[in-house]
Chain A
Amino acid sequence: MPLVRTYRALLVAGFQQMAAYRIQSLLWMLFAIIRPVIFLAAWVAIATAQGGAVSGYTVGDFAAYYVCLAWVSQLTMAWNSQEFEWEVNQGRLSAKLLRPLHPIHYSVVDNIVYKLTTLPVLGAILIVIAIAFNAHFRTEPWHLLVFIPAVVLAAGLLFVFGYIIASLAFWATRMRTANTLWQRAAFVFAGSIAPVVLMPAWLQTLTYALPFWYMVGAPTEILQGSVTPERAAFILVGQAVWLTVCYAVFRVVWRRGIRAYSAVGA
């Protein structure tokens, strides 16, 4: 299994590298949980003002939702689109293209390393938040079981989607606008502002049709235990469909992008 051995070697090098930047990694992680905590505080205030619940969502439900959201966000996050733009524009991609390994594998390993090194600390912080806000989880054992494929599919979907955006750097020098656009869309539709069931009906329909909710909000609901088996199945199917579509698009974009690559500066 040469690929397994390559992954092991890349992971070892990745952990060594991460050790050099451990403080920076922790700061990124802390920065990433600020937003869910702010929304949690806001919804707790609203729920409390409305007598303890908003459309059936209690303070404890909000706490559980946002604790799960922060955890899922960390598990599924991908930053490859920003990094890739830099690699293409600086010609750094060239060294990777010349090796007998697809450049995507380096990003996968970086992603795994970052998550494994930051999750223990994040877990401890989220336990404290859950206790402080008296989070009410409805999670049953089957939710945890379904959560595993759901979070893996979500992470894969976000990663591949990010790579499609990243591949646009083959044609455009500045990708920040495209990045910002899709991150804003993800912010609105992924379930960060509110659980999707609290949104207006038309917005819910749109959310289910777009890929963003399947990246974060959907697995969050499974982990929180707020879904029925039917809804869980709907989520898994939606994720699988979007992942298949995005992977097919990525393959086409990548193949064409490589032809357009001009290896500037390297």
Chain B
Amino acid sequence: MSEAVVHVRGLEKIYKVHERETGVGATVRSFFKRTFKEVPAVGGIDLDIARSEVVGFLGPNGAGKTTTLKVLSGLLYPTGGEASVLGYTPWKREYAFLRRIALLMGNRTQLVWDIPAADSFLVLKQIYAISDHDFQTRLDELVDLLELAPLIHKPVRQLSLGERMKVEFAAGLLHGPEVVFLDEPTLGLDVSMQARIRSFVAELNRRTGATILLTSHYMDDIVALCKRVVVIHHGKILYDGALADLAERMAPYKVVGATLRDGASRADLERYGDVVSNDGAGRVKLRVPRAEAPARTARLVADLGDALADLSLEDPPIEDVIDRVFSGGQLEPAVG
């Protein structure tokens, strides 16, 4: 791995949460004595991200993704462990550090609501001490990439959610950050706007070489943008490696897709694997143990002969893999 711009060792964040039982008695008691529970949001993670990498951070709600992003961008103090981003300790929030990073959160506004975004951009230009030349070049580029020309002179409150998101992106990237933390960048957007944001993020990485750490609930975001994924669950890293290898490491099965000419019965097919779908018109999907997949497929071909019109052997869809991992179906932590 080349120079790590994000370096994390044993990072821990524990929230102290006020806890109270229901009922009048518990309410009265809580006036005099408060009980707190320690909730570990991030439980000692290690992570290295190289310059210009785009890494997807996957996990269900409450897994610790956003907390990690907030610690790495300097918003939160960790409870333990160490982290450096571009050589800085994030939570010291040195201005030299803040000028080189960005944390963009899907539904949070950085812009002044009542004035056009173009005016907010001028304020950001001064706050980040962006030179006239860099400001104009980046603004032109962002206006072009995000098709902002008709939007930046309208008051922000008059923009739709999707339009506002694009303008927010521009605001967050005007200072040319080298490391960008994206938290749910496509949350709440329609399908075409999601696609546009995705292609923009890919283009941003290609043009500027920015290092990007991205969280998303939408697998499409991850598949489109990230070669590498980090799977986090209950504050622990379950997998860190290539997206392409995730299914192999996390799902112990493959999916056989068969199209049958004579509509073979379900009972027949149970001999080769678990039937996960059967559309009644001959198209069937079977789940087979990964290690036995070649042998079972060969047996299926030999047994069915001409009755088989088409056959495929694939990894399960990435959503299914993730879903199984998070629902506790198959936990095989494999940090690679």
Contacts and interface: CB of A to CB of B under 8 A. Distances in A.
A108 to B, nearest CB: 14
Interface of A: 2, 5-6, 8-10, 12-13, 16-17, 20-21, 91-92, 94-95, 97-101, 258-259, 261-263, 266
A16 B108 contact: no
Interface string B66-97: 00001001111100000000000000010110
A99 B119 contact: no
Contacts of B110: 95
A91 B15 CA distance: 16
Q: Is the interface of B mostly helix, strand, loop or mixed?
A: mixed
> What are the 10 tightest A-B residue pairs by CB atom distance, in nearest-first order?
A100-B95, A9-B126, A6-B126, A20-B114, A100-B98, A95-B110, A9-B123, A16-B115, A263-B75, A5-B126
Contact of B75 (A16, A92, A97): A97
Interface residues of B, number: 33
Contacts of B99: 100
Contact of B70 (A2, A10, A12, A263): A263
A94 B106 CA distance: 13
Nearest to B93: A97
Interface of B: 15, 70, 73-77, 93, 95-96, 98-99, 101-103, 105, 108-110, 112, 114-115, 119-120, 122-129, 155
Contacts of A258: 77
A99 B128 contact: yes
Q: For chain A, what secondary structure do more than half of its interface residues adopt (helix, strand, loop), or is it mixed?
A: helix
Nearest to B155: A20
Nearest to A5: B126
Most buried by A among B77, B114, B126, B129: B126
Nearest to B101: A98
Contacts of B96: 100
A13 B122 contact: yes
The winner among B76, B99, B127, B128 for most chain A CB atoms within 10 A is: B127
